[in-house]
Amino acid sequence: MHVAIRYFTKSKKGNTKKLAKTVSEALGLPAESVETDLTEKADRLILINAMYAADIDPEVKAFLERNREKIGEVFNMNTSATGRSTLPAVKKAAEKLGVAVSDRAFHCRASWIFMNQGLPGEAELTAAAEFAKSVLN
């Protein structure tokens, strides 16, 4: 089974990048930006993103569209200030393209402006690593 990791971040804060680095280390697989298209079919794609204006960024949607033929199933992971999941937004974008999205997903609270300073912290990153490992099963 081939597993790939892609992430998208648009802030300099790097919360998503932190999550991506944790997942990459936990699985021993590279985490690339969504600017990098898949080169082979990913049976499972771990898509790491953040909530912006109650949605996912258009670049995440564009990645799904460009790579739709190469994605078996998406496993969503995200941070947000509210702690809300981007799973509904990812599902909406992916399912239009005929791309399957798992209901198994990870999300955690993260810093934004003056909110949630220090998050994601150790507890959130440990939980993220555990979730990523569970995607292999």
- Residues in contact with ligand FMN by the rule CB under 6 A: 9-11, 13-16, 50-54, 79-82, 84, 110-112
Question: Nearer Cβ to ligand FMN, position 75 or 124?
Answer: 124
Q: Which residues are 76's β-sheet partners?
A: 47
- Say how far residue 137 (Cα) sits from the centre of its chain: 18
Residue 128 Cβ vs ligand FMN, minimum distance, rounded to whole Å: 12
What's the CA angle centered on 24, arms 22 and 26, to 5 degrees?
65
In angstroms, give the least distance from the CB of 137 to ligand FMN: 27
Nearer to ligand FMN, 115 or 136 (CB): 115
Query: At its nearest, how many Å lie between ligand FMN and the CB of residue 112?
Result: 3
CB-wise, 11 or 126, nearer to ligand FMN?
Answer: 11
Cβ partners under 8 Å of residue 76, min gap 6: 47, 49, 85, 86, 87, 90, 101, 102, 105, 106, 107
